[in-house]
Amino acid sequence: MSEVVQVAEAAPVAAASTTRRGFVRHVMLGQKVALVGAIVLLFFIVIAVIGPWIEPYSTTTQVGKVYAPPTGKHVLGLDDGGIDMLSEVIQGARVSMIVGFAGAAVAMLIGGGVGLLSGYFGGKTDIALMRITDYFLVIPDVPLMIVAAAVFGRSLVNVILIIGVIYWTSTARLIRAQVKSVRERVYVKRARALGGGHGRLLWKHITPQVAPLLVANTVLTIAIAVFAETYIAFLGLEDPSTISWGKLIQNSLTGGAIFHKAWWAIIPPGLCVTIVILAATMMGQAMEDALNPRLRVGHLSVRRFRLRPLRGRLDSE
Amino acid sequence: MDYIVKRTAFAIVTVFVAITLNFVLFRLLPGNAVSGLRCQHCTKQFRESIVKQYGLDKPKLQQYVIYVERLAHGDLGTSIADNRPVWDDIRTPLVNTLPMIVVGTVISIIIGIISGVVAAWRRGTAADSANLWTALAFYAMPTQWIALLVIFYIAIPLGLPASGIESNTLGILSTPSTWAVFSDRVSHLFLPALTLGVGLYGEYSLVVRSSMLETLGEDYVLTARAKGMRNWTIVWKHALRNAMLPLVTLIALSLGSIVAGAIVVEDVFSYPGIGLATIDAISKRDYPVLQGIFLILTMSVIVANYIADLVYFKLDPRVTE
B188 and B54 within one domain: no
Report the residue of chain B nearest A262, measured CA to CA. B152
- What share of chain B in percent tops pLDDT 70? 88
User: Is residue B61 in some structural domain?
Assistant: yes
Same domain for B185 and B46: no
- Name every chain B residue with its beta carbon within 8 A of the beta carbon of A263: 152
Whether residues B57 and B97 fall in one domain? no
Let me know whether B132 and B58 are in one domain. Answer: no
> Are both B157 and B51 inside the same structural domain?
no
Is B77 among the domain residues?
no
**Quick check: A254 contacting B, CB < 8 Å?**
no
Highest mean pLDDT among A134-148, A272-286, B162-176: A272-286
Partners of B270 on chain A (C-beta within 8 Å) are: none
Work out the pLDDT band at A13, boundaries 50, 70, 90: very low
pLDDT tens digits for range B71-126: 888 777 777 777 788 888 888 889 889 999 999 999 999 999 999 988 888 888 88
Flag whether residue A249 sits within 8 Å of chain B, measured between CB atoms: yes
Query: B300 in a domain, yes or no?
Result: yes
pLDDT score at B170? 66
The verdict on residue B138 lying in a domain is yes
Range A112-132 average pLDDT: 90
Q: Which of A144, A226, A227, A311 to mutate to test the interface with B (most CBs of B within 10 A)?
A: A311
Residue A139 and residue B13 in contact, taking contact as beta carbons nearer than 8 Å: no
Cβ of B148 and A252 within 8 Å?
yes
Q: pLDDT for B33-64, tens place per residue?
A: 555 555 556 667 777 776 776 666 777 778 88
Average pLDDT over residues A212-239: 88
Mean pLDDT of the B241-256 span:
77
Query: Quick check: is B118 in a domain?
Result: yes
In CATH, what number does A2-294 get?
1.10.3720.10
Residues 6 or more apart whose Cβ sits within 8 Å of residue B191: B150, B151, B154, B155, B160, B161, B162, B269
Q: Between A258, A281, A302, which is nearest B148 by CB?
A: A258
CA gap B37, B33 in Å, rounded? 7
CB pairs under 8 A between A and B: 174
In this prediction, residue A286 has a pLDDT band, given cuts at 50, 70 and 90, of confident
Would you state the pLDDT for residue A276? 94
* pLDDT score recorded for residue A306: 52
CB contact under 8 A, A305 and B209: yes
Q: What whole-number distance in Å separates Cα of residue B184 and Cα of residue A309?
A: 34
Looking at the fold, whether B50 and B130 belong to one and the same domain comes out as no
State whether B142 and A234 contact (CB < 8 Å): yes
Tell whether A252 is within 8 A of chain B (Cβ).
Answer: yes
Task: Indicate the domain borders of chain A.
Answer: 2-294
For the stretch A55-90, pLDDT in tens is: 888 877 777 787 878 887 777 878 877 788 888 899
Residue B270 has pLDDT above 50, yes or no: yes
Of B45, B72, B99, which one is at a domain's C-terminal end? B72
Q: Give yes or no: residues B19 and B144 share one domain.
A: no
In a domain, B51, yes or no: yes
Residues B103 and B205 in one domain: yes
Structural domains counted in chain B: 2
Domain boundary among B72, B107, B128: B72
Instruction: Give the pLDDT score at B39.
Output: 58
Chain A contact present for B296, CB below 8 A: no
Q: Is residue B78 part of a domain?
A: no
Residue in B152, B254, B278 nearest the CB of A314: B254
Q: ipTM of this predicted complex?
A: 0.83
pLDDT tens-digit profile of B179-230? 777 887 788 888 999 999 999 898 888 888 888 888 887 888 888 888 888 8
Same domain as B130, residue B10: no
Shared domain for B57 and B93, answered yes or no, is no
| CA nearest neighbour of B11 among A223, A139, A141 | A139
Say whether B26 and A151 touch across the interface (CB within 8 A).
yes
Domain extent, residue B215, equals 89-315
Query: What confidence tens digit (pLDDT) does each residue in A32-53 have?
Result: 778 888 899 999 999 999 888 8
CATH number for the domain that contains residue B107: 1.10.3720.10
B168 and B45 together in one domain? no
Task: Give the pLDDT score at A21.
Answer: 60
Same domain, B46 and B109: no
Domain boundary among B72, B99, B117: B72
Contacts of A233 in chain B (CB under 8 A): none
> Touching check for B283 and chain A: CB below 8 Å?
yes
Rank A191-205, A208-222, B167-181 by mean pLDDT and report only the highest: A208-222
Q: Give the pLDDT score at A206.
A: 86
Within-domain flag for B11:
yes
Reported as a pLDDT band with limits 50, 70 and 90, residue A97 is very high
